[in-house]
Structure 1
Amino acid sequence: MTDTSSPPPAAEVLPRSASPVTPINLVLLSLLVFLVYLRLKPAKQQTLPKPPPPTVFRTFTPPELFPYNGLNGMPVYLSVRGRVFDVTAGRNFYGPGGPYANFAGRDASRGLACGSFDEDMLTKDLDGPLDTLSDLGDDQLEAMRGWEERFMEKYLVVGKLVAVGSEEAKAAAAQK
């Protein structure tokens, strides 16, 4: 008679083999697949920003220049001694809220020559004659030339400023 209560002989005990499908292995495999995907996925095609519209040299009168003050998405232009500069790149200085914002869309010649940002340095009557600057002293004229040189180095000249009703203004209006 055999004893049924005793354990089976050692030869009959089979070792348990560990299964490779465990929760940790599934997480690690998922992580590996995800990293391979990130490495091999096609890169998103890069697009260049839209270039600004081309700037055409044109003739401005003071009322035509005035809207170019940086408000409502407009570029920032100002004039010095009849040259109109696109100072949009310096919007934080010349645009709305900047220290030189008074000059945006205006003839800045007198204010820059006198080193003043006061409203009385600006031409009040946009339809009147341009400021001749004839009453400025040598030091003031030199200061204005210095500003003009800086603008020439940094900014694009986009036009010239002429008085309303001048022959140049009439010719420019006829070309439109």
Structure 2
Amino acid sequence: MADSPPAAEAAPLVTPVNLVLLSLFGFLVYLRLRPAKAQTIPRSPPPTVFRTFTPPELFPYNGLNGMPVYLAVRGRVFDVTAGRNFYGPGGPYANFAGRDASRGLACGSFDEDMLTKDLDGPLDALEDLDSEQMEALQGWEERFLEKYLVVGKLVPVGSEEAKSAQKQ
């Protein structure tokens, strides 16, 4: 037993290099497994309640003063706020905002004289329109139904529907 080779000494596990490597490994595992940032959900627009409008009640919905943009086509009131560039203030169809746009759309005219002047009077029955104009109006109505939400219906001032809507 006299001249046997010295036994190899075991290297200690805790060395500065091992601590650095272990820390780096732990940090990489953390980066890989950490939870993702909480996603922020965009605010949804306030809920729209289907309601009955008379022409004077519809008129303020013209996009001015922060109001949404509504217009009516054959008795249906559409929320066209998403198309504010077209139907809101300064847009090419701005004169239809807050109004019954049926006659103007049917005739392909955006003139003021296509709009009902007396908001307290009867609704435009569109009886004098020819079949081509009615077909054009139907095309517009279908386009609005595909693209925009119906938020109400337009009834004349003084009608039973208008009176019952005011009681609610």
**TM-based fold match above 0.5:** yes
Structure 2 equivalent of residue 80 of structure 1: 73
TM score, norm. by length of structure 1 = 0.74
Counterpart CA distance in 2 for 1:109 and 1:127 is 17
* CA deviation string 1:98-121 (max 9, x = no partner): 110010000000000000000000
Structure 2 equivalent of residue 120 of structure 1: 113
Superposition map of 1:25-174 within 5 A: 45-174=38-167
Q: Secondary structure, in 3 states, of the residue corresponding to 2:136? A: helix
* Gapped regions of structure 1 (runs ≥ 5): 1-39
RMSD: 1.6
Counterpart CA distance in 2 for 1:43 and 1:69 is 43
TM score, norm. by length of structure 2 = 0.77
Q: Secondary structure, in 3 states, of the residue corresponding to 1:157? A: strand
User: Between Structure 1 and Structure 2, how many residues are aligned?
Assistant: 137
Counterpart CA distance in 2 for 1:100 and 1:167 is 31
The structural deviation recorded for 1:45 is 4.3
* CA deviation string 1:62-87 (max 9, x = no partner): 00000111111111100000000011
Question: Over alpha carbons, which structure has the higher Rg?
Answer: 1
User: Percent sequence identity over matched residues?
Assistant: 87
Counterpart CA distance in 1 for 2:67 and 2:163 is 25
Further displaced range: 131-140 or 44-53 = 44-53
Q: Secondary structure, in 3 states, of the residue corresponding to 2:71? A: strand
Counterpart CA distance in 1 for 2:36 and 2:85 is 35
- What code does the residue aligned with 2:43 have? K
The structural deviation recorded for 1:43 is 7.4
* CA deviation string 1:142-166 (max 9, x = no partner): 1000000000111110000000000
Q: Secondary structure, in 3 states, of the residue corresponding to 2:41? A: coil
* CA deviation string 1:32-81 (max 9, x = no partner): xxxxxxxx7x9764422221110111000000000111111111100000
